[in-house]
Structure 1
Amino acid sequence: MSLLFELVGAYYLKQEALTRLAMDDARKTSQLVFETLYTKMQEGWSRQDIDKILERLNTVRSDMKVRVVRSPLVEKLFGAVPGDHERISKNPVLRQALEGNESMRVDRNGNIHYFYPVRVEKRCLHCHTNAMVGDVNGVIEVEMPAKDIVVSLDRIIFYFLSSLGFFLLLFFFFFYWAFDIKLVKPLVALTKRISSIDPEHPGGSIEVQSRCRELKTLEKTFNRLMEQIHFYYDRLVNSYTTDPLTGLKNMNALKKDLEEGRPFSMLLLNIDRFRELNDYYGFAMGDRVLKAVAAYLKEKVGKTMRLYRIGGSEFAVVCASPFDPRTVSSLLEEIHTLPAREASLSEIRISMTAGVVQHQRERLFEKASIALSAAKSRQIPFEFYRNAEEVEKAYKQHIHWMKRVEKALDEGRVTVHYQPIQQVRTKATDKYEALVRIVEEDGSLHLPGEFLDVVYNSSLYARLTREVVRKSFECFRHVPCSFSVNLSINDISDPACRNYIYEALRTYPEPGRVIFEILESEKVSNFTLANEFIGTIHRLGAKIAIDDFGNGYSNFNYLLRMDVDFYKIDASLIRNVVEDPNSRLLVESIVHFAKRLGVETVAEYVASREIADVCIELGVDYLQGYYIGKPTPDPLCNGRSICPEEP
């Protein structure tokens, strides 16, 4: 199509160019003939002389003919030329020229006939007295073949560039039209269709309204991709809401189902000692137990109930009506029969504990967890949430103190008070125990009993220990008194905390004045780690004491396995040592055995003169308690203030 337009346009341009060039060439020839004839007429030449000139001109170029025709104005003055009237009557183009119109025609032989009207000029009026300026005195006809037209180089370039420009314009217009119709519009439609796909529910197919092979390929590729996305999306959604091990709904499905806003009841079940089962029998056995429990619960749960595996060893049953306590009890009792029905579980005893919350709209899972925690702490098969309010209060209190302790650490409101320890033999107070305190924003103090148990199993406990170590080491750096810092088994088990203590001792000028108290009330199961820590502390020059000795798990075997320097006898024994003979006997036995081992003893909770006297009588080496001195932020060592900058 474009080529056809180009050919037509080129032909038209050719014809137009030839016409214009022929007229231009003939006009110049006619003007030359006229000027020649005019010159000779001024010299007085006659009509015969002029005819001879025309004959001479026509013989110069055999293919070119020059003819002259007089107008009626000239005929009146000089007479008519024979044959002119006949020619005028037969040639309409000649008549137009006599009327003053410059004209041209092409005959059958391809010759160009140019008719040039000769107009009267001012210089002609002295001869042509009957004419006016602008009138036509005659017509000069020039006949020549078109092939003899001479075209200049600049005209060739001009017409070529014009033709090329027109072709390019036409080409780009067609290209834009085809590009817009065949490619741009289908791509825009495709983009809109893709944009309209719902990301939460991908799927469907697209159809491109185009014959373009590339776009059709894109359509097929995109549709195949959408099919794969839809397939994997369904699998992902299913895995998001389904437990892969048991095939039950999971926690995500539970959260979504509870968004309905209706009141529900929940039975939250937990497999007892599941971690120990995994550790002893392996994870493969643990998976078989979970599958067996899931199958058992599916069998027992009614059609009106929904069963979920929450994660780990927990399962949840949700229904719209309240749970019957007898049904819950029966469900938990029959779980014991599961190993008998499953040959692969014959070596295992399975039991479950449950928490029940009845007909609640909000915090259903949280309340069921609180009830489950209450049942475990009370060592009963199941408990209802209504009977576990104190557990929730303790839980909230726990969260409250965790936030307060963390904020105090971040804001530098953790401080240390020091309680004096008196040596019985010299009566000198040259030892102190570092005790942590939290200072509120209003200046009030919180004692360790309010927050230590809460943060014991969190990372905050190690942060508190490091803060006490840092402050006490700085406080006693330049004074000759000894001091002790309490450590838990968790502190010893924490590599970061251990390394912090080791580094502090390496840079301390007199590590021999440092004592670390290990809480004896905590059961030490890893004696290898404990003894390794004690050995490292001794090599660095510091000492070790067992705190709260006589409370919990103390026995002589325990004493023998721990290479320590001090036993701090627990307050529960010292408090009653005056009135209770048994307490007195236990303290006496501990002191006697400690002396045989070369270990010094410290009596805690010496609150009166009577208690102090009995402890001295029994051979205790050091006394500590309110009778000796209360904890203070600014202790005195040999009459000198140790750390007055402490609040």
Structure 2
Amino acid sequence: MDLSLIKQIRHFGSSITVLYVEDEQNVREQIYKMLQKLFDQVDVALDGQEAFEMYMQKNYDLIVTDLKMPRMDGVELCEKIIARNKEQKIILISAYREVEEILTLINIGISGFLTKPVDMHQMLEKVYMVVKNIYADKMMKYHYEEMKKKLLENVITSDDDLYYRDTLTSLHNQEYFLENIDNESTKWAILININDFKLINDYYSFAHGNHLLFQVAELLKAQALTYSYELFRLSNDEFVLLKKEAPTNCKEMESEANSIYGAIERQKYTILGVDNVTISVTMGVASSHNHLLECLYRALMYAKKHGLRYALYKNIEDDRESVKNIMEVKALLKSSIENSMIVPVYQPIRMRDGRVKYEVLMRIKSVDSDELIAPSYFLEIAKQHRYYNEISKMVIFKALEEMRHCNETFSINFSYIDMKNTEFMEELEQKIKEEGVGSRLIFEIIETEHLDSIGVALEFIERFRAYGVQIAIDDFGSGYSNFAHIFWLHPDFIKLDGSLIQKMLQKHEVHLFVETIIEFAHKLNIEVIAEFVSSQEIYDALKLLDVDAFQGYFIGKPQEVIGDEKRSDACK
């Protein structure tokens, strides 16, 4: 028997009333004994008629009932009770499998169904799910009553007063806060955000999350009183403390912020009857005479980004120009996706035997000119703001479409994000299968330093090698993990990290390192491609080291159209 499940149900047991209905003595004694372990208040009825009469005298939170009984069966009992209370929670137990009756009961809204003989573990799981919802409903009603009481205590007499109140905590809301700071005087405030609050809602429920917020609000009320602040609830998991009188200096605000932070994190909160739940918060502290909320949020974001308890606005850099740049890039990405202006360009990779392959690179084509915008301007912002999947997919499928018109071999970059995109991987596999171009593709695995799971890369490789696709590891030599991955991924190519190529003529140790990598790769039958080949001197040095292929501006710049002199031979 699952003791942890029993313990969790017991957290609710003292506040939930149960009516158990069963006419068979042996079954009744067994189930009743279990229910008594779970709940403080369990009443028993021997048939449906007795159960209904008891229900009319005392509304129960949970009813557990048999289906086949004398005088009144389970179907009729459920119908009568739900007609009076559509929210009533009922678990039905039966040795029979009458599909029609069960469907009828499901349609009228019973909470669960168990078959005899009852599996106690299944029963505990079913009871837990039901009583968890009952407890959540009770919490919602409790908060509603508390809110009404608080509103009455505050002597709210008009709809305007209600408009400025938060419905959960009865605190003043964001609208009222904005009105309070809408003047020319300098205000000081502390913005408090509960870290990972969504996890609490997901794991428990929204009602239990609300119960936690209510407890946090009560704690903050006491802190506001102690340090002379007004307290507001801005949004789901955010509160703000507005200083009533200007502090003497920043140190005073920092000291109070530290004390409030400590009080929040030391407090033990109650969820689902567990009374030792703790939370963590992040805070932003700021002063302003006309942009207080903006300054608070910038301080909060700075603190979160740098893993701080709190940040004081005066200590953070003015990043408005950076924010402006992000907004401009986001607008560019959105427009480029809508107008299909994410385009592939092709940079030649020249093999030692004279053959040429092409790496597919991403660019944004300017709407107003022929300018091609490099990814250094937009790629990181695309990843941070959920544009990456769309632009990566667009450039790859455009390159695959180009392959229909020529016989070139294309090398295409794939990040961990791409490999984790299941829908994209399925579409890509289907496209390669239909076009039969697998043998003319090289997939470059980039950002191997950030691979969260080698299994994802292995699955990706196995999937596409089945179609003749070759594999390369990009930026090889940039970190130890590159060397570890070579044994797992078994690539056909490695591409030497560009920073090594750029320094190899100036630093003997770098030259020696490059030479060692090449020898190491060749012993494993892996071909080596050197990127950033920018001069005749670098090209000659690499050639002496027996590099298999060369890429860089000395070999050829990325072009939107593959050169006509080459294209005339390769195109169909």
User: Shared topology, TM-score over 0.5?
Assistant: yes
Aligned equivalent of 1:417:
345
1-side partners of 2:456 and 2:552: how far apart?
31
Q: How many residues are aligned here?
A: 411
Contact 1:353-1:380 at 8 Å conserved across structures? yes
Distance 1:237 1:501, change over 3 A: farther
| TM-fit CA distance, 1:283 | 9.3
What fraction of aligned residue pairs are identical, expressed as a percent?
A: 29
1-side partners of 2:340 and 2:286: how far apart?
42
User: What residue identity is the alignment partner of 2:538?
Assistant: I
Aligned equivalent of 2:99:
none
Contact 1:521-1:553 at 8 Å conserved across structures? no
Contact 2:445-2:471 at 8 Å conserved across structures? yes
| TM-fit CA distance, 1:633 | 1.5
Aligned equivalent of 1:265:
188
> What are the ranges of 5 or more consecutive residues in structure 1 without an aligned counterpart?
1-230
Aligned equivalent of 1:116:
none
Equivalent residue of 1:606, what SS?
Answer: coil
Moved more, 445-454 or 513-522: 513-522
Aligned equivalent of 1:483:
410
Aligned equivalent of 2:496:
569
User: What residue identity is the alignment partner of 2:362?
Assistant: L
Equivalent residue of 1:630, what SS?
Answer: coil
1:627 aligns with 2:562: no
Equivalent residue of 2:503, what SS?
Answer: coil
Distance 1:555 1:592, change over 3 A: same
Aligned equivalent of 2:17:
none
Aligned equivalent of 1:426:
353
Equivalent residue of 2:319, what SS?
Answer: helix
User: What residue identity is the alignment partner of 2:223?
Assistant: K
Distance 1:568 1:361, change over 3 A: same
Aligned equivalent of 1:305:
229
Q: What is the correspondence of 1:240-319 to structure 2 with a 5 Å cutoff?
A: 241-242=165-166, 244=168, 248-251=171-174, 254-255=177-178, 264-271=187-194, 294-302=217-225, 304-311=228-235, 313-319=237-243
| TM-fit CA distance, 1:482 | 0.9
Q: What is the correspondence of 1:607-618 to structure 2 with a 5 Å cutoff?
A: 607-618=534-545
Q: What is the correspondence of 1:472-551 to structure 2 with a 5 Å cutoff?
A: 472-520=399-447, 523-551=450-478
2-side partners of 1:314 and 1:504: how far apart?
47
Per-residue Cα deviation, 1:153-174 (whole angstroms, up to 9, x for no partner): xxxxxxxxxxxxxxxxxxxxxx
User: What residue identity is the alignment partner of 1:427?
Assistant: G
User: What residue identity is the alignment partner of 1:299?
Assistant: A
| TM-fit CA distance, 1:320 | 5.5
| TM-fit CA distance, 1:624 | 1.1
Aligned equivalent of 2:530:
603
Q: What is the correspondence of 1:1-20 to structure 2 with a 5 Å cutoff?
A: none
Contact 1:416-1:434 at 8 Å conserved across structures? yes
Aligned equivalent of 2:250:
325
| TM-fit CA distance, 1:637 | 8.1
1-side partners of 2:525 and 2:289: how far apart?
63
2-side partners of 1:386 and 1:621: how far apart?
55
Equivalent residue of 2:435, what SS?
Answer: coil
Distance 1:311 1:538, change over 3 A: farther
Distance 1:387 1:531, change over 3 A: same
Aligned equivalent of 1:406:
334
Partner residue of 1:591 out of 506, 518, 530: 518
2-side partners of 1:298 and 1:422: how far apart?
70
Distance 1:284 1:326, change over 3 A: farther
| TM-fit CA distance, 1:607 | 1.3
Distance 1:322 1:514, change over 3 A: farther
Equivalent residue of 2:462, what SS?
Answer: helix
Per-residue Cα deviation, 1:249-307 (whole angstroms, up to 9, x for no partner): 55465456556787543322335566789999999998887666545433332475232
Contact 1:578-1:584 at 8 Å conserved across structures? yes
Aligned equivalent of 1:342:
268
Equivalent residue of 1:575, what SS?
Answer: helix
Contact 1:521-1:552 at 8 Å conserved across structures? no
Contact 2:476-2:482 at 8 Å conserved across structures? no
Contact 1:415-1:439 at 8 Å conserved across structures? no
Q: What is the correspondence of 1:107-122 to structure 2 with a 5 Å cutoff?
A: none
Equivalent residue of 2:404, what SS?
Answer: coil
Partner residue of 2:283 out of 331, 354, 357: 354
2-side partners of 1:508 and 1:322: how far apart?
71
1:391 aligns with 2:340: no
Contact 1:520-1:553 at 8 Å conserved across structures? no
User: What residue identity is the alignment partner of 1:499?
Assistant: E
Distance 1:281 1:615, change over 3 A: farther
Moved more, 575-584 or 235-244: 235-244
2-side partners of 1:530 and 1:279: how far apart?
30
1-side partners of 2:202 and 2:477: how far apart?
33
| TM-fit CA distance, 1:325 | 2.7
Aligned equivalent of 1:554:
481
Per-residue Cα deviation, 1:535-586 (whole angstroms, up to 9, x for no partner): 2122233233222233356343333333433222221222112222343344
Q: What is the correspondence of 1:60-139 to structure 2 with a 5 Å cutoff?
A: none
Equivalent residue of 1:265, what SS?
Answer: strand
Per-residue Cα deviation, 1:201-227 (whole angstroms, up to 9, x for no partner): xxxxxxxxxxxxxxxxxxxxxxxxxxx
Higher relative contact order (CA 8 A, sep 6+): 2
| TM-fit CA distance, 1:630 | 0.9
User: What residue identity is the alignment partner of 2:464?
Assistant: I
| TM-fit CA distance, 1:441 | 0.9
Equivalent residue of 1:357, what SS?
Answer: strand
1-side partners of 2:372 and 2:191: how far apart?
40
| TM-fit CA distance, 1:512 | 1.3
1:436 aligns with 2:359: no
2-side partners of 1:572 and 1:446: how far apart?
22
User: What residue identity is the alignment partner of 1:330?
Assistant: S
> What are the ranges of 5 or more consecutive residues in structure 2 without an aligned counterpart?
1-151
User: What residue identity is the alignment partner of 1:361?
Assistant: N
Per-residue Cα deviation, 1:310-330 (whole angstroms, up to 9, x for no partner): 446543222365564323433
Aligned equivalent of 2:86:
none
Aligned equivalent of 1:193:
none
Contact 1:431-1:483 at 8 Å conserved across structures? yes
